[in-house]
């Protein structure tokens, strides 16, 4: 998200000058913000910082003045603003709205999902564009201010399972990913939960062509025991697609192990790539009872490239 002073979020406007004025009453406040560089600030944050600076200035008036001077920029969420650091004329942060949501409600539970999670895990070579996909627990809704910039990926996983949806610590260490900062300091799905998303809601993922190029890395990162846990209560087709993705990623033994753990032994015929052109080439894989209109055709294209 690009933010500029007095610009509507999501639209381009005139740039903020790097030499913005700091009136004497704001010197301590702006100095503290410049030191800490918080991504977002709530009304309560401003009140706390005014108190720390020993100022009795009214909070709302302070916010109005800091906005006018270009130090704060609205992000589209009520009572949340982005801080524009000294020397910068814009902010680029695709997750600014999500940071604002967490700042307003520290108890909110979500996880970066789909293309966003795949990007941070190294399975995509291009940062995805468009609304940021996030998993939300059942019964949770996206605030109105986030609609258009965030899309919900829903599964019947309880909020209590959220901590088990991220990547294993040993995987992060092996990939030399910082345990806190690997996903831009926001919670995100690990490869096992991502696999379940792809198998259960294939249409919720948009970067299939990019992912197929890195499918072997993705499949090698998956821990079968975790997948089995996360797949509980999902449909038979989810188990079949998940196993097939592991197979296509060069993990045939893991694919067989996963199928062996499915609760229902009947396997219906399942289409993978229902959104694809029905006239396009497809492949039937009897072992998984999958009609593949998506993965095999894309792997064929990648192989020819």
By the 8 A CB rule, do 135 and 197 touch? yes
**Structure confidence at residue 1 (pLDDT):** 55
**Structure confidence at residue 29 (pLDDT):** 92
What one-character-per-residue DSSP string does 94-133 give?
TTHHHHHHHHH-TT---EE-HHHHHHHTT--SS---SSEE
Q: Where are the domains of the chain?
A: 2-100, 109-304
CB atoms within 10 A of CB 138: 10
Beta bridge partners of 112: 134, 188
Check: pTM over 0.95? Answer yes or no: no
**Structure confidence at residue 179 (pLDDT):** 93
Q: Which CATH class, in words, describes the domain spanning 2-100?
A: alpha beta
Q: Average pLDDT by consecutive 10-residue portion of the chain (305 residues)?
A: 44 42 90 94 95 91 94 92 88 92 94 97 94 91 89 86 94 95 96 97 94 97 96 92 98 97 88 79 93 92 60
- Residue written as token pair 């916010």: 63
């Amino acid at each position: 998200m690009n933010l500029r002073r007095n610009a509507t979020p999501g639209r381009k406007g005139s740039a903020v000058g790097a030499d913005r004025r700091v009136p004497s009453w704001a010197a301590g406040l702006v100095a503290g913000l410049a030191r800490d560089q918080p991504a977002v600030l709530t009304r309560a944050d401003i009140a706390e910082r005014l108190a720390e600076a020993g100022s009795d200035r009214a909070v709302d008036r302070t916010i109005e003045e800091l906005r006018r001077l270009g130090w704060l920029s609205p992000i589209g969420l009520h009572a949340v603003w982005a801080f524009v650091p000294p020397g910068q004329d814009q902010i680029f942060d695709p997750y600014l709205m999500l940071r604002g949501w967490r700042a307003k409600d520290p108890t909110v539970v979500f996880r970066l999902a789909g293309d966003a999670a795949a990007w941070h895990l190294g399975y995509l070579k291009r940062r995805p564009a468009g609304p940021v996909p996030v998993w939300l627990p059942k019964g949770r809704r996206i605030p109105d201010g986030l609609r258009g910039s965030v899309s919900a990926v829903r599964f019947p996983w309880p909020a209590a399972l959220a901590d088990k949806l991220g990547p294993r610590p040993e995987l992060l260490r092996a990939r030399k990913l910082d345990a806190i900062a690997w996903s831009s300091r926001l919670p995100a799905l690990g490869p096992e939960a991502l696999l379940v998303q792809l198998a259960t809601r294939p249409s919720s993922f948009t970067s299939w062509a990019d992912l197929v190029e890195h499918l072997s890395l993705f499949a090698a990162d998956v821990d079968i025991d975790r997948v089995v846990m996360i797949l509980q209560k999902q449909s038979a087709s989810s188990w079949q697609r998940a196993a097939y993705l592991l197979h296509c990623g060069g993990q045939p033994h893991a694919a067989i192990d996963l199928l062996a753990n499915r609760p229902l032994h009947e396997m219906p015929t399942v289409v993978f790539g229902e959104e694809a052109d029905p006239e396009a080439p497809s492949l039937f894989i009897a072992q998984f009872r999958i009609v593949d209109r998506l993965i095999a055709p894309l792997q064929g294209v990648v192989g020819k490239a």
